[in-house]
Structure 1
Amino acid sequence: MQHCTPEQLALAALREPLPADDADHLAGCEPCRTEVASLQRAVDAVAVPQLAAPGAPVAPPPGVWAGIAAATGVSATPRTEVARQAPPAPEAPRQAEVLPFRSRRRPVLLVAAAVLTGAVVGAGAVAVVQGQDGGEAVTAVALDPLADNEASGRAQVIEQSDGSRVVEVDLDAPQLDDGYYEIWLIDRDVVGMVPLGVVRPGSQTFELPAGLDLGEFPLVDVSVEPLDGDPTHSGVSVARGELDA
């Protein structure tokens, strides 16, 4: 069976539409869906406003323009000020080779897939699921605040008609200025952990890994994670509840 290519998995993780044949394969292939789900955790983390916000423009080092001129054979004078504008048009642009669209796009997609995969290797993350169909609630739990934290909420496990399971989370928590919330399933010894993804105040739905035993991971935990790129639990939990599995 021919699986989806790395660039197709990267596109799916970015929630871009796939060709019909690829979309049909992805819908019925558990390994490919698992790979897309792990890639989407990085996508959702980057979607946190504090991570996605553009920074102030920065002037490139002086050697950048010399390198461009040496590589392209085109001379150009950069603007002295930093501005979100295109550089001046070259005086004598040379004729460029036109490549097929897919050939030009492929390296970018492979890099994107590599970056996304590198960001979540070992994390076992599963991404946010949009627009889940109705199903049957099998268990639910209140998320009580820990220590003096203000976060609280509710989580319930829903079994879909196809046998898959999702966790619907309603989180009531203050917005964070220098971090983000993440939701986990944790064992009673608070050692084994399964990350489900970035969670924001409000309602969201997360897909559970196929075959996961909720009896082994009954604790639903909400943590505050710093913007440091580390996929492991920060150790700072703000709300928690135990599922009756």
Structure 2
Amino acid sequence: MQHCTPEQLALAALREPLPADDAAHLAGCEQCRAEVASLQRAVDAVAVPKLAAPGPPVAPPPGVWDAIAAVTGVSATPRVDAVPAPVSVVEEPQDAEVLPFTSRRRRVLLVAAAVVTGAVVGAGAIAVVQNQEDGEPVTAVALAPLAENDASGRAEVIEQADGSRVVEVDLDAPELDDGYYEIWLIDRDVVGMVPLGVVRPGTQTVELPAGLDLEQFPLVDVSVEPLDGDPTHSGVSVARGELDA
């Protein structure tokens, strides 16, 4: 079996469309989906305000320069004035509008490179919101609170003009101090799970993986995830509903 390449997995983690054959493979391959989920967690994490807080630049430890010298054979030390001084950062108000980058392809290449190579995304990163074209509603579901949780909302599947599908999520839930919400599609046995991405209280849109069968994964689930880097479901679900696919 020919699995998706690292570049394709990175693009899938960014919720970019893949060629039909690769999208079909991803939809049926648990190994590739797990890789995408792991990469997607890193991409989505930068959209969490707590992780995107701006901070001053930090000088690299001395071991970095020693390692460079060992590999390149060039002995050099950075100038003292080469380390940027901390700058003042004006924090944007929480309700400020987040605009998309001018070049969508440039964003894809930059973030895909960071994901594939394991680069660390610097402080001050912002969430990128793509403009969604008008589409045709396919199905919708009310998200009912589970146990004694206060979370609730609504999820609507929309098919866009190009045939891709998105889920518009309206989440009514309290803000979290030490974690974040994530939306999933789950099968009726609550065994197979497909992560769709990080969501916040309010209305937002997430993309559905191409070729995903909603009849196989009809449960829309909202979970609370800790900031531990684990891409699997935490087991703490706060709201859920079943799509009428």
Q: TM-score, with normalisation over the residues of structure 2?
A: 0.62
Aligned 8 A contact 2:218 2:242 in 1: yes
Task: Indicate the residue corresponding to 2:241 in structure 1.
Answer: 241
Aligned 8 A contact 1:6 1:110 in 2: no
Task: Indicate the residue corresponding to 1:135 in structure 2.
Answer: 135
Deviations 1:104-138 (A, max 9, x none): xx9x975642328xxxxxxxxxxx97222111112
Task: Indicate the residue corresponding to 1:49 in structure 2.
Answer: 49
Return the alpha-carbon distance in structure 2 between the equivalents of residues 129 and 211 of structure 1.
Answer: 23
Query: What is the SS of the residue equivalent to 2:166?
Result: strand
Return the alpha-carbon distance in structure 2 between the equivalents of residues 146 and 65 of structure 1.
Answer: 52
Residues 147 and 10 (structure 1), Cα distance of their counterparts in 2 relative to 1, 3 Å cut: closer
**1:90-129 residue pairs with structure 2 within 5 A?**
110=113, 112-115=115-118
Task: Check if 1:216 corresponds to 2:216.
Answer: yes
Query: What is the SS of the residue equivalent to 2:149?
Result: coil
Residues 111 and 129 (structure 1), Cα distance of their counterparts in 2 relative to 1, 3 Å cut: closer
Q: TM-score, with normalisation over the residues of structure 1?
A: 0.62
Task: Indicate the residue corresponding to 1:145 in structure 2.
Answer: 145
Q: How many residues align?
A: 195
Structure 2 residues without counterparts, runs of 5 or longer: 27-31, 88-108, 120-127
Task: Output the aligned Cα RMSD.
Answer: 4.0
Aligned 8 A contact 1:50 1:179 in 2: no
Return the alpha-carbon distance in structure 2 between the equivalents of residues 114 and 31 of structure 1.
Answer: 25
Residues 77 and 221 (structure 1), Cα distance of their counterparts in 2 relative to 1, 3 Å cut: same
Aligned 8 A contact 1:218 1:244 in 2: yes
Residues 144 and 68 (structure 1), Cα distance of their counterparts in 2 relative to 1, 3 Å cut: same
Query: What is the SS of the residue equivalent to 1:43?
Result: helix
Q: 2:86 is matched with which residue: 84, 87, 94?
A: 84
Task: Check if 1:226 corresponds to 2:226.
Answer: yes
Q: Would you identify which runs of 4 or more consecutive aligned residues in structure 1 move more than 3 Å?
A: 5-15, 26-35, 38-41, 54-79, 108-112
What is the CA-CA distance between 1:164 and the residue it aligns to? 2.1
Structure 1 residues without counterparts, runs of 5 or longer: 16-25, 86-105, 117-127
Query: What is the SS of the residue equivalent to 1:50?
Result: coil
Deviations 1:42-67 (A, max 9, x none): 32222212223357887865666777
